[in-house]
Amino acid sequence: MKISANKILLIWALATFIALFFVGQSYFYVLTVGKEIEILDSLIWELGYYYTWALLLFGIIPIANNYLLEFKNIYRNLPIHIISGIVFAILHRGISFITYLSLVKPGKLVEGMPIWFNPKIVGGSFNSFINYFVIIGVYYGVSYYKKFREQKLHSSQLETQLANAQLQALRMQLQPHFLFNTLHAISSLMDENVQKARHTLTLLSQLLRQSLDNIGKQFITLREELEFLKNYLEIEQTRFQERLTVSFEIEDDTLDLKIPNLLLQPIVENAVKHGVAPKAEGGSILIKSWTADDRLFLAVKDDGNGCKEIKNKGIGLANVEDRLQKLYGEKSSFEMKNGEGFEVTISISIESMDIS
């Protein structure tokens, strides 16, 4: 366990403050009852008492981290903390007691050792035992608050990233080049096939509406993501006509699983732009989903010319991988493969997809 110098300084400063507080409390108490107090003796005892706890923290904290007292494991870990509490209580009373005798009454150090067996001293160990659990409770409270703050910041970052992804997708849909090509295709169809022109216009409207409806949603079902992609790809098929072929291989049990919003769209857009568009004869895109080994697999494959530099993901694919890493960490994977075209495969642990 690594503890920074600033944290060590904070621990010792806190121990000093608590010790001085109780010295002051003892002093004002004896004033009210008309007794006398040895301020120096009291100061040495209190400082030794709380400095000993500060020292023992370096052993208590690793135990607290390795044996968390949570509902799911409290019956397994509580006995460990009870034993640990007894050990640290005895250590605390021993170290603080010997320190006090060494500094205040060094000549009576050996003579005072039998006091260890005095019921009053043993009873003091019970206080230390209770203090052990107080320390554990305070440490857990601080740790959980820190995790809460980190999760809140992490959530805020993800929301910002989602908003940026949605904005980028919306710009893609609204950019003059995209709209010009789509509207030009609709205009051409008006002379040839009015019904198809109207259908394409409807698709464009649905695409924009879906983007606006999903603003603020971090997760959507795969079914919803595929509906968005089908509208997008059908518009692209209007532009590319026979040059773009799209096929889906979707397992039914994957449709209701929740995935990050706009997870597949940048991958599909990359396939259209870099896999199909550069080829005079066009190409095909295959979108797949399946489950295996308690994981959801998603794949987008095109039969284009592949990627010259497999490590160069580009902004869209890099953002997808970054989102997966932030959301799921090691419970997700992102792979790119060159073969007969270019393929991107994503896998996510189904267990980790309970986020909503």
**Phi and psi, residue 345, nearest 5°:** -125, 130
- Residue 308 pLDDT exceeds 70: no
**CB neighbours of residue 336 within 10 Å:** 17
Q: Percent helix, strand and coil across the chain, each rounded to 5?
A: 70, 15, 15
Task: Return the closest-CA partner of residue 259 out of 347, 330, 168, 335.
Answer: 347
Task: Return the closest-CA partner of residue 93 out of 127, 64, 68.
Answer: 127
Q: Average the pLDDT over 255-260 and give the result.
A: 92
> Three-state DSSP class for 3?
coil
**CB neighbours of residue 101 within 10 Å:** 19
Read off the tokens for 245.
């072929």
Q: Using pLDDT thresholds of 50, 70 and 90, give the confidence band for residue 316.
A: confident
Confidence at residue 249, expressed as pLDDT on a 0 to 100 scale: 96
Rounded CA gap, 304 and 269, in Å?
13
**CB neighbours of residue 91 within 10 Å:** 16
Which of left, alpha, beta for 294 (phi over 0: left; psi -120 to 50: alpha)?
Answer: left
Confidence at residue 343, expressed as pLDDT on a 0 to 100 scale: 93
Q: Average the pLDDT over 169-174 and give the result.
A: 53
Pairing of strands 332-339, 341-349: antiparallel
Confidence at residue 109, expressed as pLDDT on a 0 to 100 scale: 62
Average pLDDT, the chain: 81
Q: Average the pLDDT over 256-263 and give the result.
A: 90
Higher pLDDT, 187 or 328: 328
**Phi and psi, residue 167, nearest 5°:** -65, -40
- Residue 177 pLDDT exceeds 80: no
Read off the tokens for 111.
């003579």
Q: Name 337's Cβ contacts closer than 8 Å, sequence gap at least 6.
A: 310, 343, 344, 345
- Residue 159 pLDDT exceeds 80: no
Among 32-36, 114-118, 134-138, the range with the most confident prediction by mean pLDDT is: 134-138
Pairing of strands 244-250, 283-292: parallel
**Phi and psi, residue 214, nearest 5°:** -95, 5
- Residue 29 pLDDT exceeds 90: no
Rounded CA gap, 194 and 196, in Å?
5
Q: Average the pLDDT over 187-200 and give the result.
A: 74
- Residue 38 pLDDT exceeds 60: yes
pTM above 0.85, yes or no: no
Task: Return the closest-CA partner of residue 14 out of 60, 47, 59.
Answer: 47
Give ranges for CATH 3.30.565.10 in the chain.
Answer: 175-354
Residue 48 near residue 99, CB atoms below 8 Å: yes
Confidence at residue 223, expressed as pLDDT on a 0 to 100 scale: 94
* HSE-up (13 A, CA, CB side) for residue 31: 7
Per-residue pLDDT tens digits for 216-234:
677 889 999 998 888 888 8
| Radius of gyration of the CA atoms of the chain, in A | 34
CATH topology of domain 175-354: Heat Shock Protein 90 (3.30.565)
